[in-house]
Amino acid sequence: MHVFKHWKDYKDPNGNIRDGIFRNFVGKVGNKFQMDLEVVPVRKACPEMLKRATRQKRYRPKKEYFDPHPHLVRITSPVPSMTDDQWNELVESWKGPKKYGISQINKANRAQVKFHQTTRARSYPMHCGNLGDKYKDKEPTAVDLFKECHYSKKKKCYTNVVMDAIVSQLSKTTN
Residue-level pLDDT at 166: 93
Q: What is the SS3 assignment for the chain?
A: CCCCCCHHHHECCCCCECHHHHHHHHHHHHHHCCCCCCCHHHHHHHHHHHHHHHHHHHHHHHHHHHCCCHHHCCCCCCCCCCCHHHHHHHHHHHHCHHHHHHHHHHHHHHHCCCCCCCCCCCCHHHHHHCCHHHHCCCCCCHHHHHHHHHCECCCCECCHHHHHHHHHHHHHHHC
Residue-level pLDDT at 108: 94
Residue-level pLDDT at 1: 67
pLDDT by position in tens, the chain (length 175):
677 777 788 888 888 788 888 888 877 887 787 777 778 887 788 888 888 888 888 888 888 998 888 888 889 999 888 889 989 998 999 899 998 899 899 999 999 988 888 888 888 888 888 887 788 888 888 899 999 899 888 888 998 999 999 999 999 888 7
Q: Which of 64, 56, 66 is nearest to 90 (CA)?
A: 66
Residue-level pLDDT at 16: 79
